[in-house]
Structure 1
Amino acid sequence: MGFGELQVDPGDIRKAAGELGKVIDKLDQDLTTLESDLAGFGEPWGGDDIGMLIGMCYQGIHDLAMECFAGNLDELEAIAEDLEKMADNYQGSEELSDIEVNRVREILG
């Protein structure tokens, strides 16, 4: 590859999308496990005034963290889908270029 050239392998892009999909699935499983583990602890801070304050703080932080984790997974899923589309676009462009080059070759004889 010389200066200014760009070489793209749609297969490599698809492979990256697939690997990212595996990571997303693992993160989703881990998040489900985390939720289950946290729920298993119950409310260990107790029911007195200080315990209730701790519980309120914990719940707010927990909810925000879970929203962030879920949002991050959604973004990663969108990136994986975009990688698939990118691979399709590169492959389609390459195929179209081949057709056009062959057409010019036929015209020029």
Structure 2
Amino acid sequence: MAGFDVVPEPLRDGGTRLAEAGDRFADALETLEATLAGYGEPWGSGDLASLIGPAYRQTAEYIIGCLYVAADEMAIGGDDLVGMADAYEAVEDEVAQMFTSISGQLG
């Protein structure tokens, strides 16, 4: 049977960095939203503007919403990796304790 080795610390570090990247991405999106709102309605107020404005707002809201979902998923994935590292470490500690106990009982 083929096995694999998991080193919890790099997994935990990677998860932490991924979660932080997701948080920074969400912060950048907030800045983007504020910047876009600061532009007001540069398309004007004519007949064409009455078509452009709603289309722009709906499209921008949809895209930014999708990007927020991506940022959240990055943060959640990072947290999951940290949890995975913790779980691997806990299992390794438990198995080591079991072998120590069995070894002590065998003398």
Counterpart in the other structure of 2:29? 31
Task: Give the alignment's Cα RMSD to 1 decimal.
Answer: 1.4
Q: In the TM superposition, what is the alpha-carbon distance from 1:105 to its structure 2 partner?
A: 0.9
SS in structure 2 at match of 1:30:
helix
Q: In the TM superposition, what is the alpha-carbon distance from 1:29 to its structure 2 partner?
A: 2.1
Counterpart in the other structure of 1:69? 67
Q: Is this contact kept in 1: 2:8–2:86, CA < 8 A?
A: yes
Using structure 1 for the length normalisation, give the TM-score: 0.90
Gaps of 5+ in 2: none
- Structure 1 window deviating more from structure 2 (68-77 vs 51-60): it is 68-77
Counterpart in the other structure of 2:47? 49
Percent identity of paired positions between Structure 1 and Structure 2:
32
Counterpart in the other structure of 1:105? 103
Gaps of 5+ in 1: none
Using structure 2 for the length normalisation, give the TM-score: 0.91
How far apart, in 2, do the equivalents of 1:18 and 1:81 lie? 7
Q: Specify which of 57, 60, 64 is matched with residue 59 of structure 1.
A: 57
Q: In the TM superposition, what is the alpha-carbon distance from 1:90 to its structure 2 partner?
A: 0.2
Q: Specify which of 90, 93, 96 is matched with residue 95 of structure 1.
A: 93
SS in structure 2 at match of 1:56:
helix
Q: In the TM superposition, what is the alpha-carbon distance from 1:22 to its structure 2 partner?
A: 2.4
Segments ≥4 residues shifted beyond 2 Å:
none
Count, aligned residues: 107
- Structure 1 window deviating more from structure 2 (52-61 vs 22-31): it is 22-31
Work out whether 1:22 is the aligned partner of 2:20.
Answer: yes
Q: In the TM superposition, what is the alpha-carbon distance from 1:26 to its structure 2 partner?
A: 2.0
How far apart, in 1, do the equivalents of 2:23 and 2:75 lie? 10
